[in-house]
Structure 1
Amino acid sequence: MSAATEAFLAMLAAERGAANNTLSAYRRDLAQAEDAIGALAEASYDAVASLAGEWADLAPASAARKASALRQFFGFAADEGWRSDDPSAALPRPRARRPLPKLLGHDEIAALFARAEHEAAGDDPAAVRLLALIELLYGSGLRATELIELPLHAVPRDSPFLTVTGKGGTTRMVPVGRRALDAVGRWLAIRPNEPASRFLFASRKGQPLSRVRLYQLVKALAARAGLDPAAISPHVLRHAFATHLLEGGADLRVLQTLLGHADISTTQIYTHVDSARLVALVNSRHPLATRSTSD
């Protein structure tokens, strides 16, 4: 990669606190663009426009993500005085529809937890750890990365809250229910002390459990519970947390805080799952709801 793109990535990390996953995605997108058209700080307008052809076979969401990375780079390059122009207008603007979250019903959640609880009844460390993991995914709505990177000191001692570090290094307090507290307590009681690790859910080498391994564990549990593994993942359990809270009457702003969304528009995607309840709410609570059309 060129020195300019490396400087841009360094700025994202230092000034904006971009997460490692975000930096990796930006690095990959910028490197691929430079492989196609050369150093971005020097690329011509026509060269930038040619990326539309390079991305022709990509999904709209992927092309939109790449275009966004380049727009931010070109803005940075202009601020630094490396370019006198901004060729961002040459980039394609694919319309990427935000995908709706996969839905997981209450019966499926019950089956998943019944299996996990049955397996953890004998205090097998692996089974107890898995129960604690899914309790925090569904009971507190954590992201996969937030969960596997939980440090030991984040575990509540005299308060039913976890301190979670989310995207961009932002922290938030997340409530933890009795079930999750019990499962985490059981795990702490039998958690191996070697190798020493500061993480609540550590690998055998003392590093955080990997995202890949977490996905494998959840999908394998789904299969043992008689569910379709393709339909269940750590992120789907987070979606279930959000949709089921909304069904139960949770306020959208509260849900935004619990999920750690910077923009409430991200949280609003969950409103589709309970549209009937929202319509009923308007019909019953709106000031005009009790007036007839003939009044």
Structure 2
Amino acid sequence: YGSLTHPPHHPPPPLRSTHPLSFLTDFLTDNRRPNPTLLYHKHTPLKMKQPHFLNILLALGAFEAKAFVAPASQKHKSSSLTIVDSPLAAPRHKRVIKPISPTQLCSTSETLSLQLEKPLGLILEEDEESGSGVIVTQVKEGGSAYNSPDASKLIGSKIRTVTGKDVSSLSFDDVMDVIIGADSPLNVEFSLKSTATTAAPVEEKEEEPAYAIGTDVLITVQQPEANKPDIVLNAKVGDNLRKTLLNNKEIELYRGLKKKLGNCGGGGQCGFCAVELIDGEGCWGERSDYEAQKIGKNGSDKCRLACMNNIAGPATVVTL
């Protein structure tokens, strides 16, 4: 006779449901000490309907639940719970109900979002403290940022995003490329300086501009390379220098086929609109670091990019 052996033990097949799941729910609607929220399968025996049964169902993977838990200091007339059905044969890992933190519901940030037209009128420098990104050092009169009611907050701020692109960790040149390549108007997000930081330094008074916006001034244009006589233009303070020069057909700002066909159209990228600026009254201010880098050895320290400068007062412009 052969010896009797026990058949090998096989785990029962996974339980599968032939009908949709339904649950009974009991929610707490006031601010008193809560009783456990109960979730039961409709065929669960009554004796198994205990508060801890929720954890058993979660461990078996019978369903997934996501709950909104309000802070204790707030009262809500009703609670809400979203039930996501999953197959009963799902992998056996624990589902967790994660409450939403109150800090996720109301968070404060030191940011300012503005929609600005070109030219922006912002003087930017590389953020030496972090080694990446750019900060606003000046808000020039005549630019769209100057007309914003929040213009005073921009000094010392760092540009965080431009049209949704994060530029806070980019180099100076890369940030400028993003600004130049973006269509006008731009949505710019600034990271403002904290209150503690802004309160420490002594606030410096900005010098009043020598000429108010809209003041009539004379711009003398010299074209030595074209052997043309000087032209005196009646211009207004705040107008863009490039547009003012192009409006006069006798002035050849882009000389040569390369400049005529290859210019960037006033985006500040090609450097072809560079001119020498003789500022006799010293009211135009210093040129930006970006202009100096873009012009490089193609001009003297007096050279400016016409597209990036608004008229600040009378001056003599020499085309290159």
Q: Which TM-score band (shorter chain)?
A: under 0.3
Q: Which one has a larger percent helix, Structure 1 or Structure 2? A: 1
* TM-score between both structures, scaled by the size of structure 1: 0.24
Q: Which one has a larger percent strand, Structure 1 or Structure 2? A: 2
* TM-score between both structures, scaled by the size of structure 2: 0.22
Q: Could you say which structure has the larger radius of gyration?
A: 2
